[in-house]
């Protein structure tokens, strides 16, 4: 079991056992991580995931609380995850992206200007520790959109933009549940931007293939 998945399961078990009740405030992060025998980073990612599906309510500057756990509240949120895991066709979308987007990146490497490269680098640098998963995915979408828009083929750019937008749910769930996914995404974006800046089409294509394949492989394992 992945560390984050274990942390999610531990918190859910505390709720099922009655240690945490609807409306209760969770202990401070350092206390809870010690109680569960988990790292604070794993606990933090688990809290983000449980916040997304409305089990926890993170109140900035106040603390983290168990929600009302009312069925309607949970059903609305859980549909987000169920839709993702019941629709294996999203793998087909990632496969098409893996085939087409690296080619677009190679084309962009031959045409992209310095201003656009600097914009890409600035976008990556703007993502910090306080960036939410939703904010990271918004960055991811804009980063890829800017690259494909520089490929010189408007039809390919529009096609990839549509494919990318259709994979948002999978990318959010990965960001919440896969360890180090944020750091990995930013490192790969930095490398792609650097290759584009050097006009290295072959490297830009290879790095983009690896980048998209990583998300595709995670989703394949999650659906399995």
Q: What is the pLDDT of residues 100-142, one digit of tens each?
A: 999 999 999 999 999 999 999 999 999 877 777 778 888 888 9
Q: What is the pLDDT of residue 213?
A: 92
Q: What does pTM read for this prediction?
A: 0.64
Class of domain 3-79: mainly alpha
Rounded Cα–Cα distance for residues 142 and 120 (Å):
9
Percent of the chain's residues with pLDDT above 90? 33
pLDDT, mean of residues 174-191: 81
On average, the pLDDT of the chain sits at 82
Query: Domain segments of the chain: what residues?
Result: 3-79, 87-223
CATH architecture of 87-223: Up-down Bundle (1.20)
Which DSSP symbol is given to 63? E
Helices (H), 87-200: 89-111, 114-125, 133-149, 154-165, 168-177, 181-197
Instruction: Give yes or no for a contact between 127 and 135, defined as CB atoms under 8 angstroms apart.
Output: yes
Q: What is the pLDDT of residues 43-73, one digit of tens each?
A: 887 888 787 777 888 888 888 998 877 765 5
Residue 68: name the closest of 23, 28, 14 by CA.
23
Which secondary-structure segment (H or E) carries 32? Answer: helix 29-36
């Amino acid at each position: 079991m992945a560390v984050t998945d274990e942390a999610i399961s531990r918190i859910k078990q505390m709720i099922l056992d009655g240690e945490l009740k609807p409306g209760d405030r969770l202990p401070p992060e350092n206390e809870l991580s010690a109680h569960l025998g988990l790292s604070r980073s794993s606990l933090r990612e688990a809290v983000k995931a449980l916040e997304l599906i409305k089990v926890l309510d993170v109140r900035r500057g106040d603390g983290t609380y168990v929600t009302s756990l009312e069925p309607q509240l949970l059903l609305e949120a859980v549909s987000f995850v169920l839709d993702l895991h019941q629709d294996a066709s999203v793998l087909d979308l990632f496969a098409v992206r893996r085939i087409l987007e690296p080619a677009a990146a190679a084309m962009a490497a031959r045409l992209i200007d310095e201003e656009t490269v600097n914009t890409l680098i600035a976008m990556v640098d703007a993502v910090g520790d306080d960036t939410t998963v939703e904010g990271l995915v918004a960055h991811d979408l804009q980063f890829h959109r800017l690259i494909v828009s520089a490929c010189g083929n408007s039809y390919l750019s529009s096609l990839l933009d549509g494919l990318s937008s259709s994979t948002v749910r999978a990318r959010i769930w990965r960001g919440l549940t896969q360890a180090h996914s944020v750091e990995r995404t930013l490192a790969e974006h930095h490398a792609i931007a650097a290759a584009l800046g050097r006009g290295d089409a072959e490297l830009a294509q290879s790095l983009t293939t690896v980048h998209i394949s990583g998300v595709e492989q995670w989703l394949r394992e999650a659906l399995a």
